[in-house]
Structure 1
Amino acid sequence: MVRVSNLTVGFLLTLSATLSAALQANVTEELPSIDLDGASAFGLPSDDITDLVAEAEENLGIKSPRFKRRGILRPRLNRGCGSKTTACQGLYNYLHRYKDPKKVAAVFAWEGTSNYNDWNDGSFWSATTYLKPDCVYRPTTSEDISVAIQITVLAKGKFNVVGGGHSAIKGWANADGGVLLSLANFDKVNVNKGGYVEVGAGCRWRDVYSKLDTVGLMCAGGRMAGVGVPGLTLGGGISYLTNEYGFVADNVKNFEIVLGNGAITNANINQNPALFKALKGGSSNFGVVTRIDLYTVASSGVYAGQLYFPQSDFSKLQRAMFNYHSTGATQDPQSHMIAAFVYVGAYQMHLGAFTAYRSVAKADPGPALKELLAVNPGVTSSGTLQVRKYGTMAQELGGSDMAGLRQDMRDLTILVDSTIYNEFWLVFNDRLVKPFSNVPGFQATLAFHPITPKAVQAGKNRGGNSLGLDNITKPILVVNLTTQWASPADDKRIRAALEDIHANYILHAKNRKLYHEYIYLNYARQSDNPLASYGTAAAKALQCASQKYDPNGVFQKQVPGGFKVNFSSTRC
């Protein structure tokens, strides 16, 4: 017979109490309180969230649930379709308990059910991003997202968020296993009489422009209609209006966001200003943005269109590019030029694909674009240049943006120089086009995007952003290399060639004293660190914002994709 002394009993009771307290502390730590400016809300009280996770664990046959359930166990609601992670099961239970059970299938899909493939693969631009989450959830309110985050955090699961899905990087907006939150139902666009437009985070720019065009307004936004609103904006965003109004992020009036503890709040110049600035270039590190309010400006029309030049015009085009990038863009902030050299494999053809844009409602290129239009009068007369509604330019340019192929995007930034265009093009042609011109689906683009000091100043005038460009004194160029092809069998050798070309560009720019450290996040490759490229001060501010608004690092640890801030390495 084993005898237990009173001292031992006391010790065991103390240990039990300690473990119970530790468990409760663990729950509290996972859903921390965050010091916010202004009001915030939650989708459900924390006790209800804990109850849903406990029920999910019991549904799934977990023998030692971490949480005690308050209510009566509902029968297993999942009928065995696909993987049954605790987070997905908890969401499924939430929808049956708090929503209309008959409508669950309209917003939630287990792997293997009817909507799963359409909502999963169909959400993404590039075939390189297709993965297999355990479930896809298309919430309809910010409160739903709050609940989803709280359940997933307590279940120690992982999740990812897709808005427009216009990334080429595997895992950046999707995950193998876990929950995929699709923002497709956040699709409302509301024009506010206060000089801004409220845009749901599931919108693409076509949705925004089609609404604004009907009321004579425009806003800084994507230059291709099919690109998603949240990703472009949170990465900074270059637009047709950048010379005059700064980056797309600079034109945000307010973000509505759901944080890692489930709190629904706003970030703007007055409310949570550190979070507001961090979101302007800091990407998906701080929460799930559900609505973006963008300033609008009046527009009676713009002069814009596409011009397609033969290879024989390339030397003239490069002179026109240099003059525009070095002086024209600064002298005429109402203008914008996309200068791209494209190889189309289907036609075995090089061409210069140039977008000319000016925010004037008359056929006037101004001095900044005049040289481009004079390169080849035949091309100019046969192009699509015309006075038009603002949004139709993005619709036209986006019409050639093919979804479903293999895609790779990458970039670097350089200073303006008259000869580097051709130097880069020669490498592009010799090391990418010639070896892969016959690969099925092959197309490659080398494009140059100017950022002027005037554009940066326009952003500073609206409170600044996180991009770290405040001190530039001369125009810089984002050089973007985009490649597409059809078969996964060609992935390895095409990507190896792209790495070689990218390294060559960087080395060449450095040797010529033309390299700039900035990496434009929306075109960056997976191995880059665009947040660090913003500079030490900007990177620290992002890390401190992450520590304050996501103290448990939910968006660093439980969201597998995206460029991370490495928030734990800085003392704030």
Structure 2
Amino acid sequence: MVLLRQLLLLLPSVYLGASAQDRAQSVFVNSGSACCDALRAKLPSIVFARGTPEYNTRLTTYYSLQQQELSPTCTVRPNSASDVSLIVKIAKDSQCPFAVASGGHMAWKGSSNINEGFVVDLRRMNQVDVSTEDQTVKLGPGSNWQEVYKVMTPYNVSTAGARINAVGVGGYLLGGGIAFASVDKGFGADNVYNYEAVLSDGRIVEANKETNSDLFWALKLAGTNYAIVTRFDMYIYSSPTMWGAVTVYPFTKPTTSELFAQFEKYVHDEENRKDMIAVLLNHNNGMDVALSAQTNLDSNPLARMSSAEPIMHAEKVGTTHDVVDQVIAHALESTARTAWYVLTTKANTDFFMDLHAMGETIFEHLKDRKGFTRTFSFQAFQKSYIEGAVHGPTYNALKRSNDDLVCVLNFNTWEDPADDAAMEEATAALGDWAEVEARKRGILDDFIYLNYADERQPVYERSVTPEDLDKMREIQAKYDSDGTFEKFWKGGFKIPKKGSAGATGHDEL
């Protein structure tokens, strides 16, 4: 199970965004203690200082150990949109830097935590209200998907949520979200029909196709730019049961060739809207293996993707909750030191195998480091998937290639903090090589999936077209006219200024 725990860590659609670097601000900001005092004066029952159980629990629930090492002066745990509104007003009036966290499942340091300042911990806002009559669910940003699926189980329904239990609703949906049903329904965000959101002046608004429709569009790739979303209203679909399996194989050329041949057929299958298939290549404890992850929404078991005898196999027919919880979630490590890099390409087995080989070369001097694992994940953005995103900011960028695409993620873990710099440098070097090589071969797509991106990757510059990026800037200027969130909301990706070079921010939650 230890091996499977390491491998399955790649399956989340998870996790909240990523970014490049916080823009330097000349604005004066108050100290963390002054900010927490200001919060405590008006919200004494929901502000928690260092060392309290509530504060410590927030830190220990961050997935990334690098995130856990940051030390906000206090955390504040709102119970309602009204609480969030007051928090935003206090932050603005007192010029206080803050971060926002729901599941806290992002990888890089500072993505949803902060030194000094304060963290808005949304986990108390964990509403899950299902309406089978309307075929909708109303979700608080602080719920995790295990809680959501558990509540949905008696209703025999599901939604386009994450594939890992601990991922938070807020970050997942504000960065896109890859779901079991994405091949038919697009990103998780494309299944949100209404947002309740707190603007930078503290106003609580609704955003949907009729009301604040421009904000509704932008929130589908929100980052930390527009609003703190306090409720997501989503469509649901009938799902009494589904089927899921994870299979681990020895890493051999015949086996990987079989896996990628089947994967490429899946990527280009125009008819199949019920299957989700991913392939992973993993190095762990000196051993290389290949892994397939397969699901079917109609509970039909799929054939294994290789004729090789598996090292390990787990499968289940059950509710979304049970398939995630029993086939995937219990096999995961709860925390890790980690670094990620993502790119998008056309399906190309030769490139995928060359990427694995280059990973061996670049990480050769690090392979004996304690707890070292290296994983590559390959997941599809089919044409039908892209069409499901037609109403969001990423659609025109994804549509440019007029092709089925593959989301390629390199994901590395280790144990010793002394190895952080070397591991992060190697991850970046491999990512840089991959982009240059894929572009040289004519298979690179510019799209960078926000929820998997490294902090230095230029997500907005490449994941939306220049015209749509200008539109996002106009919407930002309308709803955050004085730049309150730009100045004080730390972490996450920020919309780059027009004419700026490179990425300029980080993603939410």
User: What TM-score results when the alignment is normalised by the length of structure 1?
Assistant: 0.78
Residues 496-505 or 560-569, more deviating: 560-569
Say whether residues 1:464 and 2:392 are aligned partners.
yes
> Aligned with 2:429: secondary structure?
helix
Residue 383 (structure 1) shift = 2.2
Note if 1:253 corresponds to 2:186: no
CA–CA distance in 1 between the matches of 2:91 and 2:329?
Answer: 36
1:383 maps to 313
What residue in structure 2 maps to residue 89 of structure 1?
37
Q: Once the 2 structures are TM-superposed, how far is the Cα of residue 189 of structure 1 from its aligned partner?
A: 0.8
Say whether the 8 Å CA contact 2:157–2:238 is kept in structure 1: yes
Residue from 333, 339, 356 that aligns with 2:279: 339
Q: In the TM superposition, what is the alpha-carbon distance from 1:568 to its structure 2 partner?
A: 6.9
| Residue 110 in structure 1 maps to residue 35 in structure 2 | no
Corresponding residue for 2:250?
310
For structure 1, the residue ranges without an aligned partner over 5 or more in a row are 1-82, 97-103
Supply the RMSD in Å over aligned alpha carbons.
2.0
Contact 2:32 2:96 in 1 (8 A): no
What does residue 9 of structure 1 align with?
none
SS of 1:214's partner is: helix
When residues 357 and 112 of structure 1 are mapped into structure 2, their CA distance, relative to the original with a 3 A threshold, is: closer
- Is 2:362–2:430's contact at 8 Å kept on the other side of the alignment? yes
List alignment gaps of at least 5 residues for structure 2.
1-30, 501-509
| Equivalent residue letter for 1:492 | A
- SS of 2:124's equivalent in the other structure is coil
- Following superposition, the deviation at residue 466 of structure 1 comes to 3.8
Q: Map residues 421-500 of structure 1 onto 2, 5 A cutoff.
A: 421-432=352-363, 434-460=364-390, 463-467=391-395, 468-500=397-429
1:569 CA displacement: 6.4
The amino acid across from 1:480 in the alignment is L
Asked if 1:547 is matched to 2:477, the reply is yes
Q: CA deviation at 1:288?
A: 0.8
Query: Where do residues 43-62 of structure 1 align in structure 2 (5 Å cutoff)?
Result: none
Paired position in structure 2 for 1:177: 116
Structure 2: distance between partners of 1:277 and 1:205: 23
Counterparts in 2 of 1:279 and 1:539: CA distance versus 1, 3 Å: same
1:111 aligned partner, one-letter code:
R
Match of residue 213, structure 1, among 146, 153, 176: 153
Q: 1:361 Cα deviation (Å)?
A: 2.7
Question: In the superposition, relative to structure 1, how do residues 465 and 334 fare at CA in structure 2: closer, same or farther (>3 Å)?
Answer: farther
Q: Indicate if the aligned counterparts of 1:318 and 1:422 stay in contact, CA closer than 8 A.
A: no
Tell me the residue number matched to 1:406: 337
Shift of 1:284: 2.4
Residues 419/466 of structure 1: CA separation in 2 closer, same or farther (3 Å cut): closer
The aligned residue for residue 228 of structure 2 is 288
Mapped to 1, the partners of 2:434 and 2:475 lie a distance apart of 34
The residue type paired with residue 264 of structure 2 is F
**SS across alignment from 1:384:** strand
- Contact 1:407/1:484 (CA < 8 Å) preserved in 2? yes
Deviation per CA, 1:426-457: give whole Å up to 9, x if none.
Answer: 1122322x433322222221011110111121
Amino acid across the alignment from 1:201: P
Alignment partner of 1:306: what SS? Answer: strand
Instruction: Work out the CA distance in 2 between the residues paired with 1:427 and 1:351.
Output: 16
Determine if contact 2:99/2:489 at 8 Å carries over to the other structure.
yes
Q: Deviations over 1:211-238 (max 9, x none)?
A: 1122110111111111111111111111
State the Cα deviation string for residues 509-555 of structure 1 (Å, max 9, x = none). Answer: 01101111100001111111111112202211211111111111112
Separation in structure 1 between the aligned mates of residue 282 and residue 339 of structure 2, nearest angstrom: 15
- Paired residue for 2:74? 135
Higher relative contact order (CA 8 A, sep 6+): 2
Conserved? CA contact 2:262–2:305, under 8 Å: no
CA distance in 1, matches of 2:78, 2:374: 37
Aligned-residue offset at 1:209: 1.0
Alignment partners' CA distance in 2, 1:198 and 1:477: 31
Give the match's secondary structure for 2:418: helix
Task: Confirm or deny that 1:268 pairs with 2:208.
Answer: yes
- In 2, the alpha carbon distance for the partners of 1:466 and 1:154 equals 34
Partner Cα distance (1:204, 1:449) in 2: 22
- Structure having the higher helix fraction is 1
Q: Distance in 1 between matches of 2:408 and 2:153?
A: 30
Amino acid at match of 2:95: K
Distance 2:72 2:145 in 1: 26
Aligned mate of 1:167, from 100, 106, 116: 106
- 1:565 counterpart = 2:495: yes
Paired residues of 1:150 and 1:262 also in contact (CA < 8 A):
yes
Give the Cα separation in 1 of the matches to 2:378 and 2:32: 47
Query: Which of 306, 311, 323 does residue 393 from structure 1 map onto?
Result: 323
The answer on 1:277 being equivalent to 2:217 is: yes
Q: CA deviation at 1:116?
A: 2.5
Q: Counterpart of 2:349 in 1: which secondary structure?
A: coil
- The amino acid that maps onto 1:557 is K
Asked if residue 204 in structure 1 is aligned to residue 144 in structure 2, the reply is yes
Q: What is the letter of the counterpart of residue 549 of structure 1?
A: Y
Q: Structure 2 CA distance, aligned partners of 1:569 and 1:153? A: 27
Distance 2:422 2:43 in 1: 46
Aligned equivalent of 2:28: none
Residue in 2 that maps onto 1:323: 265
1:360 pairs with 290, 298, 302, which one?
298
User: Is the CA contact 2:243–2:323 (under 8 Å) kept in the aligned structure 1?
Assistant: no
Partner Cα separation in structure 2 for residue 561 and residue 315 of structure 1: 40
Structure 1 stretches of 4+ moved >4 Å: 567-570
Q: Deviations over 1:176-210 (max 9, x none)?
A: 11121100101121102311111110011111111
Check the 8 A contact 1:428/1:446 in 2, yes or no.
no
CA distance in 1, matches of 2:305, 2:299: 20
Q: Secondary structure at the match of 1:270?
A: coil
- Aligned partners of 2:404, 2:208: CA distance in 1, in Å? 29
1:471-529: CA deviation from partner (whole Å, max 9, x where unpaired): 44211111101111111100111122112211111111011011111000011111111
* Deviations 1:56-81 (CA, angstroms, capped at 9, x unpaired): xxxxxxxxxxxxxxxxxxxxxxxxxx
Q: Which amino acid aligns with 1:308?
A: V
Pair 1:349 & 2:277 matched: no
TM-score (norm: length of structure 2): 0.87
Is this contact kept in 1: 2:345–2:438, CA < 8 A?
A: yes
Q: Secondary structure at the match of 1:202?
A: coil
Residue of structure 1 equivalent to 2:96: 157
The answer to whether the 8 A contact 2:292-2:305 is kept is no
Partner SS, residue 469 of structure 1 = helix
Quote how far apart the aligned CAs of 1:558 are.
0.5
- Contact 2:380–2:407 (CA<8 Å) still a contact in 1? yes
* Paired residues for 1:495-534 under 5 Å: 495-533=424-462, 534=464
Percent identity, aligned pairs only, is 25
Partner letter of residue 93 of structure 1? A
**Aligned-pair CA distance for 1:391:** 2.6
Shift in CA distance, 569/471, structure 1 to aligned 2, threshold 3 Å: closer
Which has the larger Rg? 1
Instruction: Give the superposition deviation at 1:110.
Output: 1.6
Count of matched residue positions in the alignment of Structure 1 and Structure 2: 464
